[in-house]
A and B are shown apart, each in its own frame.
Chain A
Amino acid sequence: MSENNSVGVVAPQTAHFSEPLALKSGQVLPQYDLVYETYGTLNADKSNAVLICHALSGNHHVAGKYSENDKYPGWWDNLIGPGKPLDTDRFFVIGLNNLGGCHGSSGPSSINPATGKQWGSSFPILTVEDWVSSQARLLDHLGITQLAAVIGGSLGGMQALQWTIAYADRVRHALIIASAPNLTAQNMAFNEVARQAIITDPEFHGGDYYEHGTVPRRGLRIARMLGHITYLSDDVMGEKFGRKIKDTIKYSFDVEFEMESYLRYQGDKFAGSFDANTYLRMTRALDYYDPALAFNGDLSKALSKAKAEFLVLSFTSDWRFSPARSREIVKALLDNESTVSYAEVTAAHGHDAFLMPDSHYHAILRSYLSNIQIGSNHAE
């Protein structure tokens, strides 16, 4: 059954952009590649496009598999496919790898055409705003003027929100899930510890480890372990691992508890597949995003130009992007008389809940998405 509603075997594509991209930092990216995947078919009037914005460690491989024998599908495969909540029989879904990433789009590990060497530490620090600008260019490349919807969780939700601010006319619906209008000091503090773990790793070499033939694996591993703690709730960690002992207590610093085994496994897996320079930049994009800053902290003013309709979702046990933060977005939208619905999903899985196939959560997404009009009859 699950095979029947998969988008099947997919392949990524690459778009090259030779027009320079002016970044918020003042730097300019002279040219760049964006790697992306699409699922479903773009309809005749191009009114059914949905953009998926990824979070910290995500990428363009959102749904489907790369081969029949591929062990794992894309990271949001439970949401996307024929007959799934984001129905690829109706929608044309686009996933991309953000700039600065490590899965094919231009990033620190890509070759800088100016030097012929890997960018390393010299790759610019990008912001959510920069990402959204580059995503808009990808839409231009695909001939899409307006998105039926932009969807994102966590850092992806920030991009979805930014879409409604920066390109108010180009997005009809924004689904902002487990996100926030900016990070709290505590949330940024976790990012700082993660970065310090990487930066102080002797193998980091100021970010130019490629040319030293090293990988700051230890730092990245610790950063990811810390991340995993914050993505789960106390309850779910208790339920999953509790105080369960791995074998017998050895009075050592080896793995004694199941929880340690899990964190080490997750850390090792990630450190072997992700780029530390990308991780640093993703956390910085999170830290810097604050659309209200230019409006004296007034989020309502920041969102006053938004024309999209909104669905804002949060999860009760998510303490890293708590429901209270989503309610701030909702309040600002209400102040602007935007069309908005907000649901607070009861879930045990903490921040990770947004990737879980909870039936109520998915029913909400399915209902909302099925009400989005596409084709020549959509009211605009």
Chain B
Amino acid sequence: MQNNVNITNFRQDFAIIANWVKFGSKVLDLGCGDGELLQFLRGSLEVKGYGVEKDDANVLACIQNGSNVIQMDLEDGLSGFEDQSFNTVILSQTLQAMHHTEAIVLDMLRVGQEVIVTFPNFGYWRNRIQITLGQMPVSKTLPYQWFDTPNVHLCTINDFDAFCKNHNIDILERKVITDGEEVNFIPNLLGCLAMYRLKTK
């Protein structure tokens, strides 16, 4: 049951990203994991895709499934990529684990004509309840314990909206989803996963 919900959620995530990526465009997926999203985009939209990944096993998986992958640490920035050289740069559910959060978002906007950022909304009501009950939230989008989590920069939808405003970033589109369904009512409370399409102003 839990697993099924996860898959639905995942595909909804992919489906929205696919809607935001143009057919045949050039895409950079940062923290691409085993290349699953790239494979999906390649199959459905014939994109010219590249992934960036740090982990050895994921890099190997990408090479196995024929996804272009560049092994590097996102914390070192995107200096190997030219300004505006990609149609879309994607950072899917990795923002919260970045140390140089501000730097990576700005670098993405430098490299990509458009940027897609997704992250677990820390303002989601289930997280708030767990905090109210006096413990760090653990859920399917935040599956870690406080002592082993890679997440260092969790934020809410309101926080990220303010971040964009302060950094002069244009929010072209924002979608919030919970259990695969789009949430339009009080998204910062009822939304589990936040998805943004951004552009430099």
Number of interface residues of B (CB under 8 A): 20
Q: Is A337 a contact partner of B48 (Cβ separation < 8 A)?
A: yes
Chain B residue contacts of A339, Cβ below 8 A: 68
Contact indicator B63/A311 (Cβ below 8 Å) = yes
For the complex formed, measure the closest distance between the CB of B112 and the CB atoms of chain A, giving whole angstroms: 13
> How many angstroms from the CA of A367 to the CA of B56 in the assembled complex?
13
**A307 smallest CB distance to B (angstroms):** 15
Contact A371 B80 (CB under 8 A): no
Q: Check if B98 is an interface residue, CB within 8 A of chain A.
A: no
In Å, the complex CA distance between A153 and B31 comes to 28
Complex CA–CA separation, A331 to B83 (angstroms)? 12
Tell me if B68 and A341 are in contact (CB < 8 A). yes
* The stretch of A195-203, A208-216, A342-350 that contacts the partner chain: A342-350
Which residues does chain B contribute within 8 Å of A311, judged by CB atoms? 63
- Asked if A330 meets B70 with Cβ closer than 8 Å, knowing A337-B26, A337-B48, A360-B56, the reply is yes
* Contacting residues, chain B, for A374 (C-beta < 8 A): none
What is the distance, in angstroms, from B1's C-beta to the closest C-beta of chain A? Answer: 34
Closest CB of chain A to B73's CB: distance in Å?
Answer: 9
Asked if A263 is an interface residue, CB under 8 A from chain B, the answer is no
In the assembled complex, the Cα of A335 lies from the Cα of B59 at a distance in Å of: 21
Name the prevailing secondary structure of the B interface residues: mixed
Let me know if B132 is at the binding interface, CB within 8 A.
Answer: no
Bound complex: CA A363 to CA B82 (Å): 31
Question: Within the complex, what minimum Cβ distance (angstroms) separates A302 from chain B?
Answer: 16
B80 touches A327 (CB 8 A): yes
**By the criterion CB–CB under 8 Å, are A371 and B72 in contact?**
no
Asked whether A340 is an interface residue with its Cβ less than 8 Å from the other chain, the reply is: yes
Instruction: Give Cα A337–Cα B27 distance, bound, in whole angstroms.
Output: 11
List the B side residues contacting A371 at CB < 8 Å.
63-64, 66
Q: Does A364 contact B (CB under 8 A)?
A: yes
Cβ–Cβ < 8 Å partners of B85 in chain A: 334-335
In the complex, A342→B60 CA distance in Å?
A: 10
Chain A residues with Cβ under 8 A from B62's Cβ?
341
Residues of B within 8 A of A360 (CB): 56, 60
User: How many angstroms from the CA of A360 to the CA of B70 in the assembled complex?
Assistant: 16
By beta carbon, the residue of chain A nearest B57 is A360
* A342 contact set on B, CB distance < 8 A: 69-72
- When distances are taken between beta carbons in the complex, the residues of chain A under 8 Å from B50 are 334, 340
When C-beta atoms are compared, the residue in chain B nearest to A328 turns out to be B80
User: Is B10 an interface position by the 8 A CB rule?
Assistant: no
Contact partner, B69, options A331, A335, A341, Cβ 8 Å? A341
A167 adjacent to chain B (CB < 8 Å): no
Contact: A330 with B64, CB < 8 Å? no
A190 within 8 Å of B by Cβ?
Answer: no
A364→B60 contact, CB < 8 A = yes
Most buried by B among A339, A340, A360, A367: A367
* 29 A-B pairs with C-beta separation under 8 A: A334-B70, A334-B81, A334-B82, A335-B82, A335-B85, A337-B48, A339-B68, A340-B50, A340-B68, A340-B70, A341-B59, A341-B67, A341-B69, A342-B69, A342-B70, A343-B56, A343-B59, A343-B60, A343-B63, A343-B69, A344-B71, A344-B72, A346-B56, A363-B60, A364-B59, A367-B60, A368-B63, A371-B63, A371-B64
Beyond contacts A311-B63, A343-B71, A344-B71: 8 other A-B pairs, Cβ-Cβ < 8 A, are A331-B81, A334-B50, A340-B70, A341-B62, A341-B68, A342-B69, A342-B71, A371-B64
What 5 A-B pairs are tightest by C-beta distance, nearest first? A367-B64, A367-B63, A343-B71, A342-B70, A331-B80
